[in-house]
Amino acid sequence: MEVYLSQRPDARDVPALRDALEQACRLAREAWPDVPVNEARFCAALAGLDPTVDGVSPERIRELALGLACADGHEPALVRLEAEYFDGVHGALKGMKLEPDVIDEVLQEVRRKLLVGDPPKIAGYAGRGSLRGLLKVTATRTAISLLRKSGRERPGDDAILDQTGERDPELDFLKARYRGIFRDAFEQAVGQLEPRERNLLRLHFLRKVTLEALATMYGVHRATIVRHLAKIRDSIDRATQQELRERLGADRREVDSVMDLIRSRFDVSVERLLATSHE
């Protein structure tokens, strides 16, 4: 319990907390009798979830225990994962009408992404969403990436992600893990811009001045404004990426995933930053 309390000072009712943690550990052991439960690590992982332990559903508790055991490489846990949670993966890939060799490659890459590493990513994702959903979304994204690289991507492949009916646990994890670091890196990147460049961003994103109106204000062609904005966006992208790599020292693929997330939310991020700036 001390491990939990050290990470969750908001937990007040100590006797009730002790009972809830004991119940969670007991549920984990009963769910997977052939899978070892490291109680200290399990309680630390419970502390990292948004609700207090008494608000975590039994299904999340079972999936958290299994995910942590898989991260530790316990064979019975890995067998259970394949047998009981990969059905959604097979269904999703079958729906994409992939060739058998592509399906095998996707499955191997999913296992590598989630089960290999220090620590394996499944340890961070477990309990933060549906384990079956995590596997399905990871497999679908991996399949689309492989098709894209091989030139076999079909129009509309990205829409398959929306059809899974699942939130993307990987992006949720990245947002939770890197929110503060990204905000600092992004603010620093914007702060490095020239005053004229920041003013252009403020006019376009915050005050919603159109490209045509900006062109008139600056006495240039609309295409020139478009080029300026593209150059500014590229400068922010490169500066943010460099700062993230320096501060995180993270795996290149993980930094790239964070940058993909940043790019997808660029306009909103700029607008929010400028709205809170007192410059």
Mean pLDDT score of the chain, rounded to an integer?
79
Q: For residues 212 and 199, what is the distance between their CA atoms, to the nearest angstrom?
A: 16
Does residue 177 register a pLDDT over 70? Answer: no
Parse the chain into domains and list their residue ranges: 1-78, 86-167, 169-276
Q: What is the pLDDT of residue 167?
A: 54
Of 157, 129, 120, 1, nearest to 63 (Cα)? 129
Does residue 165 register a pLDDT over 60? Answer: no
Which tokens hold the place of 232? Answer: 């500014």
Query: pLDDT tens for residues 214-249?
Result: 999 999 998 889 888 888 888 888 888 888 778 776
Q: For residues 63 and 48, what is the distance between their CA atoms, to the nearest angstrom?
A: 14
Q: What is the CA radius of gyration of the chain?
A: 23
Looking at the chain, the whole-number percentage of residues with pLDDT higher than 90 is 16
Which one has a higher pLDDT value, 221 or 262? 221
Residue 173 pLDDT class (50, 70, 90 cuts): low
Q: For residues 258 and 262, what is the distance between their CA atoms, to the nearest angstrom?
A: 6
Would the pTM count as exceeding 0.75?
no
Query: pLDDT tens for residues 33-73?
Result: 999 898 888 888 888 777 677 788 899 899 999 999 999 99
Query: pLDDT tens for residues 64-107?
Result: 999 999 999 999 999 999 999 888 788 778 777 778 888 899 89
Does residue 109 register a pLDDT over 80? Answer: yes
What's the chain look like in SS3?
CHHHHHHCCCCCCHHHHHHHHHHHHHHHHHHCCCCCCCHHHHHHHHHCCCCCHHHCCHHHHHHHHHHHHHHCCCHHHHHHHHHHHCHHHHHHHHHCCCCHHHHHHHHHHHHHHHHCCCCCHHHHHCCCCCHHHHHHHHHHHHHHHHHHHHCCCCCCCCHHHHHCCCCCHHHHHHHHHHHHHHHHHHHHHHHCCCHHHHHHHHHHHHCCCCHHHHHHHHCCCHHHHHHHHHHHHHHHHHHHHHHHHHHHCCCHHHHHHHHHHHHHCHHHHHHHHHHHCCC
